[in-house]
Amino acid sequence: MTQEQLAGLIFWFPAFLFSTTVHEAAHAWAALRGGDPTAYLGGQVSLSPLPHIRREPIGMLVVPLMTSLTQGWAMGWASAPFDPLWAARHPRRAAWMAAAGPAGNLCIALGAFGLLKLGLAAGFFVAPHSVSFSHLVAANDHSSLWGLVSFSARGLSVLLMLNVLLAVFNLIPLPPLDGSAAIDLLLPERMAGAMRRLGFAGSLIGMILAWRVFPLVARPLFDLVVAVLHPGVRYG
């Protein structure tokens, strides 16, 4: 096993499992609060990954493990069940349910960002000579806990970037992504649910377009995170 494969298994796969679990649990919790107990009855108002893995074993376990071992980063999918009749009757509530998933990822990203800034301020972390999606900070060479600090630096870097990317990708307003329903919060009442009515063909086209668009914004997002994390430090 190469160092990159080992890093994918140790850092990216657990980060994906945790982040996706929070994302889907947030959907399920928001739906329950909005009057749809479907996901709650399926056990998905839970921060345990097990009910989410049982629902989507390929997307939550098999594909993330394979991509972690072969690509050095994790990719996959998950879902939370909901009542489409409830969503049709209450498009605004369904929009809040859709927005809750990315909001969960943003909360994780903010937590990771706060810990990284705290570590920088305390001198545990320093700005590295070069940055990457899994190397936003480096351990201070003078730290007596260098091994633990280095592990934390890598883990928090992955957690921050993964959740920023998950949140932004899912907020693209194209079906079947969360943004196609969450955008109803910004639209007039008469237009609510329009994206959801596009059906399977719209979802297929939406995913193709989203995968084409997202690489164009991923790098600027990374540059923005680095600029906020290390103001005054310039990377080529």
The fraction of the chain above a pLDDT of 90, given in percent, is: 67
pLDDT of residue 4: 72
Long-range contacts for 125-130 (Cβ within 8 Å, ≥24 apart)? 125/149, 125/153, 127/230, 127/233, 130/235
Q: What is the pLDDT of residues 63-77, one digit of tens each?
A: 999 999 888 889 999
Q: What is the pLDDT of residues 178-210, one digit of tens each?
A: 988 888 888 776 665 665 655 544 466 667 777
- 0.85 cut: is pTM over it? yes
Q: Is the pLDDT of residue 211 over 50?
A: yes
Q: Average pLDDT, whole number, for the chain?
A: 89
pLDDT of residue 192: 59
- C-alpha radius of gyration, the chain, whole number: 19
The least confident of 34-38, 115-119, 168-172 is 168-172
For the segment 42-53, the average pLDDT, to the nearest whole number, is: 97
Confidence of residue 100 (pLDDT cuts 50, 70, 90): very high
Q: What is the pLDDT of residues 107-129, one digit of tens each?
A: 999 999 999 999 999 999 999 99
pLDDT of residue 80: 95
pLDDT of residue 220: 93
pLDDT of residue 197: 58
Q: Is the pLDDT of residue 98 over 80?
A: yes
